[in-house]
């Protein structure tokens, strides 16, 4: 028997709202009929489901099935997902893992092919995805696009391998995602003319406008660490067909609080037209990536949501392929515990591994300056404290020590200094460290840093927080970056360890998320890989 829904239909293409009866059968919309209803203002609003236009599921620390179970509560019916993180750890097997696990639940994950595995030659990753691998994956119907081309210098220099990857996507007519923070003018034009159609890395209005005017589509990102919504949202007024919403990286506690629904509410509050907001949240990703997600047309998959209002965007119900998957804030998706996959092989470290010998030939030391709510960093040159020939952290000035430990095999530890984490005691560490997911640790002393790292080595990956009298660990046994445990349980564990870091002085909104990006070499300015301190603008080691 067909199922009927009576609601106020938000007709996005025609920019009108009216009472309607929607009928669907066998997962497809059979009919949409305009009707007369007394007190129609009491009806819920019917819209297409929300789509996150660019997200690394791995950054939620949840396997795809657990991510979906939470996301549907917020009206999300699908994602455009780059499995770049697990690919850097486990290669092709990691990509297959994400696809297979995503297929166990009624949610529309749309995976792309990671274009940069490893992300650079200046770090140690766990795997490589070569041009032949990319061609094989792009030939599959369930692979929708070539994921973010982070090697923008390679594009500008027309590197042979980079151009071959781009050509592979063009040959099968699939979109190519971009990643070019700060790129402007002629360089941006050359990058775009290579066939790259989107960018989610813009952090200023002027940069995004420049790229829009040169034909690129802009994804407004609001994740757990990188927050660009306020800087970019006004562009939606003038470019409603070229803007999408995305989270990029979202930790479990943030996902429990909200997803794309939050961005819709904020956009409407800023006075953006509701139809343009819903274009960015629902329509534009489906059209750009040619997704099999319904847009409330007859014959479409019955993917839609019911909202209490178009102001706060409280989700009353979420349907995917005609199946009710969430109702009144409760997920109806049932999951089974996922299998494990990993690549983690290093021995426990000694305190002396974290000492930093004072150089004899220079007085000033390069320091990474972390920026709250941004992935970019700045470079400082500072005189550091030295005792017995060793450079030490300076807690009073908030110059802490940072180290990156190779998680794939035993190797010397890379060390540097960092500002703005604010810790007054102990250390925090994570094996979620984009892009290669070695272990990154920030601390006030070598002993605490060693304890934080060894706590993760014992559980083959996770996040840890060490204080003078407490040790907290959230294990992530799936590739050292995810867990197969229940998503809500993980969110509570993450909230607790995040709170502990802040009790120890961490001043960042999301200290663990910011920590995870301090080894991300493709974002300027100064970052640290397992091989050394790296200048992301000059693209070489310091």
pLDDT in tens, 302-357: 999 999 999 999 999 999 999 999 999 999 999 999 999 999 999 999 999 999 99
pLDDT at 224: 73
What backbone phi and psi angles, to 5 degrees, belong to 322? 75, 0
Q: Name the nearest CA neighbour of 76 among 56, 112, 51, 39.
A: 51
Cis bond before residue 525 (omega within 30° of 0): yes
Residues in the chain: 542
Task: Measure the CA–CA gap between 521 and 82, rounded to whole angstroms.
Answer: 18
> How many Å from the N-terminal Cα to the C-terminal Cα in the chain?
68
Q: Name the nearest CA neighbour of 208 among 196, 218, 198.
A: 218
For 286, the token pair is 């489906």
114 touches 82 (CB < 8 A): yes
pLDDT per residue as tens digits for the range 67-120: 999 999 999 999 999 999 999 999 999 999 999 999 999 999 999 999 999 988
Domains of the chain: 49-292 (3.20.20.140), 351-541 (no CATH)
pLDDT per residue as tens digits for the range 29-44: 999 999 998 888 889 9
Q: DSSP alpha helices (H): ranges in 233-310?
A: 252-257, 260-269, 274-278, 284-289
The CA-based angle 176-483-354, given to 5 degrees, is 90
402 touches 418 (CB < 8 A): yes
pLDDT at 178: 97
pTM for the predicted model, two decimal places: 0.94
pLDDT at 129: 96
The CA-based angle 231-235-239, given to 5 degrees, is 155
pLDDT at 239: 98
**Helices then strands (H, E): number in the chain?**
16, 29
Task: Measure the CA–CA gap between 232 and 214, rounded to whole angstroms.
Answer: 17
What's CA 373's distance to the chain center, in Å?
13
pLDDT at 107: 98
- pLDDT lower than 50: segments of the chain: none
pLDDT at 488: 94
For 54, the token pair is 């660019």
Residue that the structure tokens 């209002």 belong to: 309
What's CA 198's distance to the chain center, in Å?
15
136 touches 143 (CB < 8 A): no
């Amino acid at each position: 028997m067909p199922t009927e829904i009576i609601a106020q239909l938000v007709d996005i293409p025609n920019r009108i709202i009216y009472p309607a009866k929607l009928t669907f059968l066998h997962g497809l919309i059979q009919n949409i009929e305009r009707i007369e209803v007394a007190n129609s203002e009491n009806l819920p609003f019917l819209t297409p489901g929300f789509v996150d236009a660019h997200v690394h599921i791995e950054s939620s620390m949840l396997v795809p099935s657990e991510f979906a179970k939470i996301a549907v509560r917020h009206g999300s019916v699908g994602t455009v997902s780059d499995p770049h993180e697990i690919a850097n750890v486990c290669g092709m097997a990691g990509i297959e893992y994400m696809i297979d696990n995503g297929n166990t639940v009624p949610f529309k994950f749309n995976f792309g092919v990671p274009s940069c595995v490893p992300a650079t030659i200046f770090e140690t990753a766990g795997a490589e995805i070569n041009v032949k691998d990319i061609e094989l994956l792009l030939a599959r119907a369930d692979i929708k696009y070539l994921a973010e081309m982070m090697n923008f210098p390679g594009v500008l220099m027309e590197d042979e391998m980079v151009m071959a990857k781009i050509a592979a996507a063009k040959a099968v007519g699939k979109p190519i995602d971009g990643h070019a923070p700060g790129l402007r003018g002629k360089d941006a034009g050359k990058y775009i003319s290579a066939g790259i159609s989107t960018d989610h890395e813009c952090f200023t209005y002027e940069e995004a406008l420049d790229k829009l005017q040169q034909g690129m589509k802009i994804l407004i990102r609001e994740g757990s660490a990188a927050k660009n919504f306020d800087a970019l949202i006004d562009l939606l007024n003038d470019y409603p067909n070229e803007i999408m919403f995305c989270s990029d990286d979202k930790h479990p506690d943030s996902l429990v609080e909200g997803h794309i629904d939050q961005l819709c509410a904020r956009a409407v509050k800023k006075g953006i037209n509701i139809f343009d907001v819903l274009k960015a949240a629902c329509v534009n990703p489906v059209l750009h990536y040619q997704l099999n997600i319904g847009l409330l047309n007859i014959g479409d998959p019955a993917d839609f949501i019911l909202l209490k209002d178009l102001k706060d965007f409280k989700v009353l119900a979420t349907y995917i392929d005609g199946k009710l998957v969430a109702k009144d804030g409760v997920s109806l998706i049932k999951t089974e515990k996922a299998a494990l996959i990993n690549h983690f092989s290093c021995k426990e470290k000694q305190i002396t591994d974290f000492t930093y010998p004072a150089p004899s030939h220079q007085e000033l030391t390069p320091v990474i300056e972390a920026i709250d709510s941004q992935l970019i960093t700045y470079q400082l040159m500072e005189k550091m404290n030295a005792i017995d020939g060793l450079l030490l952290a300076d807690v009073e000035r908030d110059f802490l020590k940072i180290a990156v430990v190779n998680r794939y095999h035993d190797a010397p530890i890379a060390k540097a200094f960092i500002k703005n984490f604010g810790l007054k005691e102990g250390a925090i560490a994570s094996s979620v460290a984009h892009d290669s997911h070695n272990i990154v640790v920030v601390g006030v002393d070598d002993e605490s840093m060693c304890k934080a790292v060894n706590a993760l080595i014992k559980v083959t990956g996770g996040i840890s927080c060490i204080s003078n009298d407490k040790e907290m660990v959230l294990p992530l046994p799936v590739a050292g970056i995810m867990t197969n445990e229940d998503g809500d349980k993980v969110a509570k564990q993450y909230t607790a360890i995040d709170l502990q870091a802040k009790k120890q002085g961490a001043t960042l909104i999301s200290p663990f998320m910011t920590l995870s990006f301090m080894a991300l070499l493709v974002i300027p300015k100064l970052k640290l890989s397992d091989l050394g301190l790296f200048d992301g603008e000059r693209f070489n080691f310091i």
